[in-house]
Chains A and B, each alone.
Chain A
Amino acid sequence: EILMTQSPATLSVSPGERATLSCRASQSVSSNLAWYQQKPGQAPRLLIYGASTRATGIPARFSGSGSGTEFILTISSLQSEDFAVYYCQQYNHWPPVFGQGTKVEIK
């Protein structure tokens, strides 16, 4: 089973600042990597798939990059509604595991 490791576990950022979240796979997952946002008490929401394609309705301040084993989610200018937990997920190999999550909190 592929291991997905996200860093940091918690990221403290001020509104308007840039946030950079990392996700590393234990073996190559090609570009079959998604990012999800989850707020307390809510279901996850797909942000990015195919490593860099924004899902429908996702603001341009969210961008994804990477391929193989190293991936980055960038939020260019954090808005108040962006404070949440972010998960990466590979779907190149079965089972499609998630990372453990990065919590983005207000600094």
Chain B
Amino acid sequence: EVQLVESGGGLVQPGGSLRLSCAASGFTFSSYWMSWVRQAPGKGLEWLANIKDEGREKYYVDSVKGRFTTSRDNAKNSLYLQMNSLRAEDTAVYYCARQNWGGASDIWGQGTMVTVSS
């Protein structure tokens, strides 16, 4: 079964850091671009970042550039999101997603909740 499973969410204080992980299974992880999308409580979807299949090309939305870093370990079929200098407005459910050949996100994880609060 094709699956993505996120982990690493939780409660963190403003200014703190958190590392999210996304474990992939059921497909050739190293062949796909991957992305991170978040959804604040009661709000819409916000694309954060994506990373090319080999891991060298990465793109970030302005709101997280310089604070968030995505990486991947194709040997471990895993995707990561390192989040630093967290703010209250970063509170959201964070999803990892696989991009299909056209660029749409065809497989999503179940999401992991990140709460930034003192």
Contact present for A49 and B102 (CB under 8 Å): yes
Q: How far is the CB of B107 from chain A (nearest CB, A)?
A: 8
> In the complex where A94-B59, A95-B61 touch, is A44 in contact with B103 (Cβ < 8 A)?
no
A-contact 0/1 string along B83-103, CB 8 Å cutoff: 000000000000100001011
CB neighbors of A among B37-73 (8 A):
37, 44-47, 59, 61-62
Task: Give the chain A neighbours of B103 by CB distance below 8 A.
Answer: 32, 49, 91, 96
Task: Give the chain A neighbours of B111 by CB distance below 8 A.
Answer: 43
Task: Give the chain A neighbours of B44 by CB distance below 8 A.
Answer: 87, 98-101
Contact present for A43 and B110 (CB under 8 Å): yes
Interface size, A (range): 20 to 34
Residue of B nearest to A45 (CB): B108
Complex CA gap A84/B86 in Å reads 31
Q: How far is the CB of B46 from chain A (nearest CB, A)?
A: 7
Complex CA gap A101/B37 in Å reads 15
CB neighbors of B among A55-75 (8 A):
55-56
Number of interface residues, chain B, beta carbon within 8 A = 19
Task: Give the chain B neighbours of A89 by CB distance below 8 A.
Answer: 45, 47, 104-105
Is B109 an interface position by the 8 A CB rule? yes
Is B1 an interface position by the 8 A CB rule? no
Is A11 an interface position by the 8 A CB rule? no
Task: Give the chain B neighbours of A87 by CB distance below 8 A.
Answer: 44-45
Residue of B nearest to A94 (CB): B59
Is A97 an interface position by the 8 A CB rule? yes
Contact present for B46 and A32 (CB under 8 Å): no
CB neighbors of B among A1-59 (8 A):
32, 34, 36, 38, 42-46, 49-50, 55-56
Contact present for A97 and B47 (CB under 8 Å): yes
Q: How far is the CB of A33 from chain B (nearest CB, A)?
A: 9
22 contacts between A and B (CB under 8 A): A32-B103, A36-B45, A43-B108, A43-B111, A44-B95, A44-B108, A45-B108, A46-B100, A46-B104, A49-B103, A50-B102, A55-B104, A87-B44, A87-B45, A91-B102, A94-B59, A95-B47, A95-B62, A96-B47, A98-B44, A98-B45, A100-B44
